[in-house]
Chain A
Amino acid sequence: MAYLDEHMETISREELEELQYKLLRSQVTRLYSSSPFYHARMREAKVHPDDIRSLQDIVKLPFVHKKDLRDNYPEGMLSVPRREVIRYHASSGTTGKPTVVCYTRKDIDTWTESLARGLTSIGLGPDDVIQVSNTYGLFSGGLGFHYAAERIGAAVVPASTGNTERQIELILDLGVTAMAATPSYMLHLGEVAEKMGVSIKKDTKLKVGLLGGEPWSIKMRDRIDEWLGIKGINCYGSSEMYGPMFTECSEQDGIHIWGDIAYAEILDQETGGPVAPGEKGELVLTMLQKEALPMIRYRVGDVTEMVDEPCACGRTHPKIRRIFGRVDDMLIIRGINVFPSQVEHALMGIPEVGEHFQIVVDRKGALDTMLVRVELKKEAFTDNIVQLMDLRERIAYRLRGILNIKAAVELVEPDNLQRFEGKAKRVIDRRDI
């Protein structure tokens, strides 16, 4: 098993925590004296850098929210002299006003290092050709993978998004071995390839999908792996953290969060305190080395759980399981929390339907209604209407078992639901609240 930085990646937990404490302490001290934003926040919370005497003291520090980035748009949270900034990115603004993030040279380097460790842990290296099908430009996804792939000596195909037929030709012609994309785009590409008469599994050298940018389930991963003959690697990040940062290793069993780069907490959304070990909660990240736009106790808004057992790959850093959903795309239907990823999970167990779905939430009188629209696969179509009714009932039953609420099911024609090249928008909420 190859490492990019064997010493750091296999450091003992005690040494790692000591290092994390040192980095946290020096970050907080620097920000208290040089960042007007963090200075004011710490004063408000009545906490001084001297109060941080152990790693556990991190809980004394106030949270940072996405809203803070918006309120301080564009550069109110910049924490280095402006001339040290060498790059800007901007978030897609899917859940509000766009935000701008900025980077020093060291920030770009830390980001690249973090993702390059991940790529190495999957077994990628100079022999690989990596097609980056994430958007290049203001979105951090494209350039993040680009830099990391170059760092490990792989050849980069900067395909960006769009023109799927051309993407498939490049995969064939350049012998692409790994591809970075969203999982829904990976599936879309597989479908388009089939229409072109190309089997990703048999006709290409593609063996790894570096997939992230939206929550997806293990069943979807297994389906991608089996159908396309690749390893679907779960990748994680956001522009506030730098960009795509963390990946699973070749074990495909949780995402390594490099502890010298980030400190992760999982928060109970009800109490605001930590969850019990192994419980789901909101991920809170502190970037320990970030310069231009530091993030201390940043409420990422993603729901996950921590895996605190050693990984079979030999790396010692903490892992998160996978992203179950967004705190803000969690639907509350009749008082019950519903994540679109749960619906996906339920549908993956039903071979007659495809992986594309749409959730329509509405309100009839005082009652919320939930409708799941799902594509019937061509080969599953039967002339027998009773069997189709049975299928609908089977899906509804399974949804009820997983979601704990009743959902109506509608079968729609294949290829009928909208496909997304970026983040999938699967929910239509018609409730007027």
Chain B
Amino acid sequence: MYQKYRIKQLSIFSENRPGRLAALAKAMMEEDVNIYAFSIAEGAGYGVIRALVDHPEKAFKKLSSMGVTVRYTDVLAVEMEDRPGGLYEVVRTLAEAGINIEYSYAYSGKRCAVVILRVEDIDRAAETLLDKGVRLLEISQFT
């Protein structure tokens, strides 16, 4: 039921060394893949790069062919108002429902601000947010 709100995020394992991100970004450019949002989480000596792109399958195929360790992770993309309190309204809802956020990053789209959420029970989180009238984005709605 909430399948359409499951956004396929690319999660990439990358060693922390100069040029690594540049190589990945170049590959996306060559495939004509647009990156909407991304974040890098830093481990010790390695990082996990998370990216939302317009053509995840194409990007996945290209990265795999380069020998890059990549997998899909389902996330939610939540629209929020670009004003003080915008984020609070979204996360308060989840806090009240006892839903823990594993990680999150945000970007400011052309139309609205978007917060990307990785939660354990993605369907319950989607249901909770929709019930409270929060708008979730499908991948086709990214700008």
B41 at interface, CB cutoff 8 A: yes
Q: Which residues of B in the span 92-130 have a Cβ within 8 Å of any Cβ on A?
A: 102-103, 118
The answer on a CB contact under 8 Å between A388 and B46 is yes
Chain A nearest CB from B20 CB (Å) reads: 9
B38 at interface, CB cutoff 8 A: no
Q: Looking at the complex, which one of B9, B11, B67, B69 makes contact with A376 (CB distance below 8 Å)?
A: B69
The answer on a CB contact under 8 Å between A414 and B11 is no
Q: Which of A49-57, A238-246, A250-258, A377-385 contacts B (4 or more CB under 8 A)?
A: A377-385
How far is B11's CA from A392's CA once the two chains are assembled, in angstroms? 19
The answer on a CB contact under 8 Å between B13 and A381 is yes
The answer on a CB contact under 8 Å between B14 and A411 is no
A427 at interface, CB cutoff 8 A: no
A170 at interface, CB cutoff 8 A: no
User: Which residues of chain B have C-beta atoms less than 8 A from A389's C-beta?
Assistant: 43-44
The answer on a CB contact under 8 Å between B73 and A383 is yes
The answer on a CB contact under 8 Å between A413 and B15 is yes
B21 at interface, CB cutoff 8 A: no
Q: Looking at the complex, which one of A384, A385, A414 makes contact with B69 (CB distance below 8 Å)?
A: A414
How far is B132's CA from A233's CA once the two chains are assembled, in angstroms? 66
A329 at interface, CB cutoff 8 A: no
Quick one: closest B residue to A414, CB to CB?
Answer: B69
User: Which residues of chain A have C-beta atoms less than 8 A from B13's C-beta?
Assistant: 376, 381, 411, 413
Quick one: closest A residue to B74, CB to CB?
Answer: A383
* A388 and B43 in contact, given A383-B48, A412-B15, A413-B15 (Cβ under 8 angstroms): yes
Mask, A369-413, CB within 8 Å of B = 1, is: 000000010100111110011001000000000000000001111
Interface size of A as a range: 10 to 19
* A410 and B118 in contact, given A376-B13, A381-B69, A384-B102 (Cβ under 8 angstroms): no
How far is B67's CA from A378's CA once the two chains are assembled, in angstroms? 9
The answer on a CB contact under 8 Å between A411 and B11 is no
Q: Which residues of B in the span 1-35 have a Cβ within 8 Å of any Cβ on A?
A: 9, 11, 13-15
How far is B102's CA from A383's CA once the two chains are assembled, in angstroms? 10
Quick one: closest B residue to A415, CB to CB?
Answer: B67
Quick one: closest B residue to A386, CB to CB?
Answer: B102
**What residues of chain A have their CB less than 8 Å away from a CB belonging to chain B?**
376, 378, 381-385, 388-389, 392, 410-416
- Pairs of residues from A and B, 3 with the lowest C-beta to C-beta distance, nearest first: A383-B11, A410-B45, A383-B73
Chain A to chain B contacts (Cβ below 8 Å), 27 pairs? A376-B13, A378-B69, A381-B11, A381-B13, A381-B69, A383-B9, A383-B50, A383-B71, A383-B73, A383-B118, A384-B102, A385-B41, A385-B43, A385-B48, A388-B43, A388-B46, A392-B43, A392-B44, A410-B44, A410-B45, A410-B46, A411-B46, A413-B13, A413-B15, A413-B67, A413-B69, A414-B69
